[in-house]
């Protein structure tokens, strides 16, 4: 496969275009594309938010399904507690507090951002803030201040394939309520961060109070012994400080930031499984610098971000901007019989980090980080080996099928949820590190949409438009 990179960024005139290339007696024509200001934000932002709306559980989503799973859920001791609401997490109907907190955080951060204001959403759909509040209401139901735990998940497995409202009888306590189970970890940090942003943006004491409760619980428990958890604590501390502006949150944020600088490996990496959240730690450090621009940690953090970016740069899969999984593998090196899936959250979390770092790195690394971040969005939106736009409804060529139980809904859309971002490319087999996307079938490893992809997309988009807005202001001076 041959790739050629062409730079026609000098061409600014708005319009709809194709590129035609003559090469070795052949003519190759690109998909049509549009040049207009803020095209990415105006088109993809509303789609990314609408995906969450269509994933809603526990209410009618017109054109998709009637109220479903109103009888969630049954706890291990046999009691029933109302956990209706939230979002179907992926192409199944289970609901997890693995990535629901991140999703609420991302929607809340995106709400009111420059990218949100540019959104070209038709009337009739909830705003990003409304959608964040929908998710937050479910998180609130899941929070048990007596046990200091968030309910882990409402889980009915993967066996049912039909409209969601027909999976259970919707009557609480009648015997088919879905079970509530524990998760391997307790995602309080990002839930506290999400509540802090909502408290700031709504002014409601409901979110202020629960944010304080949850943050006190976080601080009363030891951090997990991994950098991802410390990164989440840093992000939460930064958001808590934005809300309360107290000395305690400042010193907590400084403590986590310092510890992340210390735990960074010599090659620039952190101890984070790259599959989903690779960009979270550098994004959190960049956020710290935004809130504490005069911190004594600034030189250390800038050096740390520079090391991380140089690692990304040396491991990138040219001519694309995504990095390899590690120095020896492009995609996740799964083994026969093991679980595996595409890495779009890894790339989108990096896009978020790259746009955030743009404000923290010296010239010219800052501009290079921004180019790499754009490149990760490009990968999702069509600049990939099969030229598939992996966000449904945004580009020209999409997957033929998604791995989604909404395929069984009789609305003529066959599970093509607008704004859904699929898992993405995997290696063709354990022994072959060549790119594979299921363009004919609906393999879940590549074609299933998961909440974190859209969450990281929204976080990236809010930073991307913040940067372009800032540059425009600088140019005007």
Binding site for Zn ion (CB under 5 A): 57, 68-69, 164
Task: Name the strand (E) or helix (H) holding 69.
Answer: none
Shortest Å, Cβ 327 to Zn ion? 43
For residue 31 the two structure tokens come to: 């998909």
What is d(CA 294, CA 315) in angstroms, rounded to the nearest whole number? 32
Nearer to Zn ion, 57 or 151 (CB): 57
Nearer to Zn ion, 164 or 268 (CB): 164
Q: How many CA atoms lie within 13 A of 80 on its CB side?
A: 14
Residue nearest to Zn ion (CB): 57
Do the Cβ atoms of 46 and 113 come closer than 8 Å? no
User: Token pair 């998760």 is at which residue?
Assistant: 183
Shortest Å, Cβ 177 to Zn ion? 12
What is d(CA 386, CA 296) in angstroms, rounded to the nearest whole number? 47
What is d(CA 244, CA 262) in angstroms, rounded to the nearest whole number? 27
Nearer to Zn ion, 70 or 191 (CB): 70
Do the Cβ atoms of 277 and 283 come closer than 8 Å? no
Nearer to Zn ion, 58 or 98 (CB): 58
Nearer to Zn ion, 167 or 465 (CB): 167
Q: How do strand 33-35 and strand 95-96 relate by DSSP bridges?
A: unpaired
What is d(CA 385, CA 372) in angstroms, rounded to the nearest whole number? 17
Nearer to Zn ion, 40 or 57 (CB): 57
Shortest Å, Cβ 139 to Zn ion? 16
Closest CA to 110 of 45, 160, 58: 45
Shortest Å, Cβ 71 to Zn ion? 10
**Three-state SS for 334?**
coil
Do the Cβ atoms of 460 and 472 come closer than 8 Å? no
Shortest Å, Cβ 86 to Zn ion? 8
**Three-state SS for 15?**
strand
Shortest Å, Cβ 326 to Zn ion? 38
Shortest Å, Cβ 68 to Zn ion? 3
What is d(CA 103, CA 454) in angstroms, rounded to the nearest whole number? 8
Nearer to Zn ion, 141 or 242 (CB): 141
Shortest Å, Cβ 56 to Zn ion? 8
Do the Cβ atoms of 430 and 445 come closer than 8 Å? no
Shortest Å, Cβ 85 to Zn ion? 9
Which residues are CB-contacts of 119 (< 8 A; sequence separation ≥ 6)? 41, 42, 45, 46, 49
Nearer to Zn ion, 68 or 198 (CB): 68
Nearer to Zn ion, 126 or 333 (CB): 126
Closest CA to 80 of 4, 167, 174: 174
DSSP for 359-374, please give it: TTSPTTHHHHHHHHHH
Nearer to Zn ion, 163 or 435 (CB): 163
Shortest Å, Cβ 170 to Zn ion? 10
């Amino acid at each position: 496969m041959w790739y050629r990179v062409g730079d026609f960024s000098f061409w600014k005139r708005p319009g709809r275009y194709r590129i035609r290339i003559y090469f070795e007696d052949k003519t190759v024509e690109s998909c049509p594309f549009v040049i207009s200001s803020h095209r990415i934000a105006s088109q993809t932002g509303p789609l990314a938010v609408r995906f969450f709306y269509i994933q809603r559980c526990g209410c009618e989503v017109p054109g998709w399904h009637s109220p479903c799973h109103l009888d969630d859920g049954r706890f291990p001791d046999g009691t029933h507690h109302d956990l209706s609401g939230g979002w179907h997490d992926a192409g199944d109907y289970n609901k997890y507090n693995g990535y629901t907190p991140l999703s609420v955080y991302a929607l809340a951060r995106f709400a009111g951002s420059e990218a949100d204001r540019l959104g070209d959403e038709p009337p009739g759909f909830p705003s990003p803030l409304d959608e964040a509040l929908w998710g937050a209401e479910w998180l609130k139901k899941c929070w048990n201040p007596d046990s200091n735990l968030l309910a882990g998940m409402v889980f009915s497995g993967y066996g049912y394939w039909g409209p969601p409202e027909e999976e259970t009888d919707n009557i609480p306590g009648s015997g088919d309520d879905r079970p509530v189970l524990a998760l391997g970890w307790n995602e309080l940090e990002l839930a506290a961060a999400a509540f802090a942003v909502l408290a700031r943006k709504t002014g409601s004491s409901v979110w202020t109070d629960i944010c304080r409760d949850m943050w006190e619980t976080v601080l009363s428990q030891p951090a997990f012994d991994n950098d991802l958890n410390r990164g989440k604590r840093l992000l939460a501390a930064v958001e808590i400080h934005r809300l309360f502006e107290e000395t305690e949150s400042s010193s907590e944020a400084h403590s986590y930031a310092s510890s992340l600088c210390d735990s960074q490996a010599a090659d620039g990496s952190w101890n984070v499984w790259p599959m989903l959240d690779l960009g979270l730690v550098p994004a959190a450090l960049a956020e710290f610098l935004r809130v504490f621009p005069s911190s004594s940690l600034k030189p250390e953090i800038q050096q740390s971000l520079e090391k991380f970016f140089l690692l990304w740069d040396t491991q990138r899969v040219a001519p694309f901007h995504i990095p390899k999984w590690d120095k020896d593998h492009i995609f996740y090196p799964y083994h026969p019989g093991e679980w595996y899936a595409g890495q779009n959250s890894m790339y989108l979390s990096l896009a978020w980090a790259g746009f955030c770092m743009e404000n923290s790195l010296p010239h010219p690394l800052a501009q290079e980080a921004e180019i790499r971040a754009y490149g990760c969005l490009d990968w999702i939106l069509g600049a990939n080996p099969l030229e598939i736009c992996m966000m449904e409804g945004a580009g020209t060529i999409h997957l033929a099928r998604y791995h989604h139980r909404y395929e069984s809904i009789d609305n003529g859309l066959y599970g093509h949820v607008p704004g859904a971002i699929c898992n993405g490319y995997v290696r063709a087999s354990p022994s072959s590190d060549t790119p594979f996307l299921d363009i004919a079938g609906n393999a879940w490893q590549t074609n299933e949409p998961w909440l974190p992809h859209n969450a990281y997309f929204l976080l990236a988009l809010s930073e991307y438009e913040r940067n372009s807005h800032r540059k425009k202001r600088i140019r005007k001076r």
